[in-house]
A = this chain, B = another copy of it.
Amino acid sequence: MAPNGVNGSSGSHRFDPDFTRLVVENMGPNVAPRTRQLLGGLIRHIHDFAREVELTNDEWMAGVHFINSIGQCSTSIRNEAHRVSDILGLESLVDEIAHKLVVEGDVEPTSSSILGPFWSPNAPFRDLGSSIIQDPNPKGRVALMHGTITDLLTGKPIPGAVFDIWQASANGKYDFQDPENQTPNNLRGKFRADENGKYWFYCYHPTAYSLPTDGPAYKLLQLMERHPMRPAHIHIMVTHPDYRGCTTQLYPKDDPWLATDTVFAVKNDLVVDFKPKEGDPKATLDLEYNVILPPKDYKGKL
């Protein structure tokens, strides 16, 4: 296959060199510049892909049927296009594009990761030291999670930062997905850090789970000989009005799916170590995780 030329639309293939330009330039004069850039880039990459692989009519039609099947499987509580873009790595890439920060010093801010489809804007504030476990699952292993939220530049704590956590239960399901076993806001909660920037509460050691295996996203995974598993993870979103917030996920270091996460959302600084805990009747595990936020106006090197 010939490499793409500059702008991706020339190159050494044997096809009409003007066709892609003709399609892009068919856009009218009043198209917004960003729309023109986005759709022009999309058309160029779709065409370059088709020429590079010499896409056949049957393959194109298989793609057409696949695209139709995505929407036909989606409902108000199932977003299959979101899942398909996740397993192709697109949501993780968009997250990187949005949050990439090249710092000047040695300390890095906590890495971001994808929001995913299960965050809720309605999670309740809970008291420091309380539990997010409303509906205990017999297989759940309780952990005391705690840490300090600090400023990237000064290293000082950030009192009043809000630590929002959500996680699946020990059956691998979130409250939305499991109304028989879970009440709304089970395993969700917001905590406000104390005057020392510290937070602490009880939650579960997370449980790995599979993406749904009855739709187009799973068909695509099968075509690629990939499993549908997400490594066990805890979602967190840490915010403060004076800082750039961080939405991310934390992964136990011994999870077998870390290297092959089906949505490619694992980063090294997000892998954590649950330790045995003694002397606490409420928990058998301890997890310390410290979060580092850049000030709101910090731009880094770029």
Which residue numbers of A lie inside 8 Å of B, CB to CB? Answer: 1, 3-8, 14-16, 19-20, 22-23, 26-31, 35, 37-39, 41-43, 45-57, 59-61, 63-65, 67-74, 79-82, 84-85, 88-98, 100, 102, 220, 223-226, 260, 264, 302
Given contacts A28-B224, A30-B225, contact A46 B88 (CB under 8 A): yes
The residue on B at minimum CB distance from A61 is B82
With a cutoff of 8 Å between Cβ atoms, the chain B residues found around residue A23 in the complex are: 88-89, 264
A92 and B223 CA atoms in complex are apart in Å by 27
Indicate how many identical chains form the complex: 2
For residue A20, give the distance in angstroms from its CB to the closest CB of chain B: 7
SS of A interface (majority): helix
Q: Are A68 and B94 in contact (CB under 8 A)?
A: no
The 8 Å CB contact of A20, one of B14, B89, B98, B223, is B89
With a cutoff of 8 Å between Cβ atoms, the chain B residues found around residue A31 in the complex are: 223-225
22 inter-chain pairs at a CB distance below 8 angstroms, sorted by A residue, are A15-B97, A19-B96, A28-B226, A31-B223, A35-B223, A35-B224, A38-B59, A39-B220, A39-B224, A41-B49, A47-B93, A55-B93, A57-B98, A60-B85, A60-B90, A63-B85, A64-B81, A64-B82, A67-B70, A71-B71, A71-B73, A72-B72
Q: Are A225 and B264 in contact (CB under 8 A)?
A: no
